């Protein structure tokens, strides 16, 4: 699996979502690797994909962890802080970011884009956005 990356397409709430899974730390150095080699071994059923995704979501609840994921962020006109405040973490693939709550992925950012507004526009039913607008809290425990 070394050096390979693949996309898994899933339907969530009627919407097709793409998830990029990485096989080694060199390709995903900004995100703690939780998808172990055994995950890809069809003979080893000890690690369930949902468990690993839930663990990543739990890690990315922490705003500082989301912010840390942007160490290689290529876009200078949108701040890392704005991205983390909007619930996103960086996927280390072009300019793709994902919400830790709704798993929504946004890319192809343009000058003038405001991360929280783009999040609301593309994923208006995201629980992070709803909770954040009610409480003003940016980290979920």
List, in order of start, the domains of the chain with CATH numbers. 5-135 (1.10.1170.10)
pTM higher than 0.85, yes or no? no
Centre a 10 Å sphere on the Cβ of residue 97 and count the other Cβ atoms it contains: 28
- Classified as helix, coil or strand, 21 is strand
Successive 10-residue mean pLDDT values, the chain, 141 residues: 44 50 48 39 46 81 94 95 96 94 94 96 93 59 38
Beta-ladder partners of 127: none
Q: DSSP labels for 11-40?
A: EETTEEEEEEEESSTTTSTTS-----HHHH
């Amino acid at each position: 699996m070394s050096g390979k990356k693949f996309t898994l397409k899933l339907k969530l709430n009627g919407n097709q979502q793409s998830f990029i899974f990485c096989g080694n730390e060199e390709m995903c150095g900004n995100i703690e690797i939780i998808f172990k080699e055994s995950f890809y071994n069809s003979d080893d059923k000890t690690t369930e994909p949902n468990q690993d995704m839930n663990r990543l979501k739990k890690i990315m609840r922490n705003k500082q962890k989301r912010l840390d994921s942007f160490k290689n962020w290529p876009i200078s006109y949108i701040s890392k802080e704005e991205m983390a405040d909007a619930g996103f973490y960086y996927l280390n693939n072009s300019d793709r970011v994902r919400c830790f709550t709704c798993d929504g992925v946004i890319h192809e950012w343009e000058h003038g884009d405001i991360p929280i507004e783009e999040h609301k526009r593309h994923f208006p039913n995201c629980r992070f956005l709803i909770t954040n607008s009610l409480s003003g809290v940016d980290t979920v425990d």
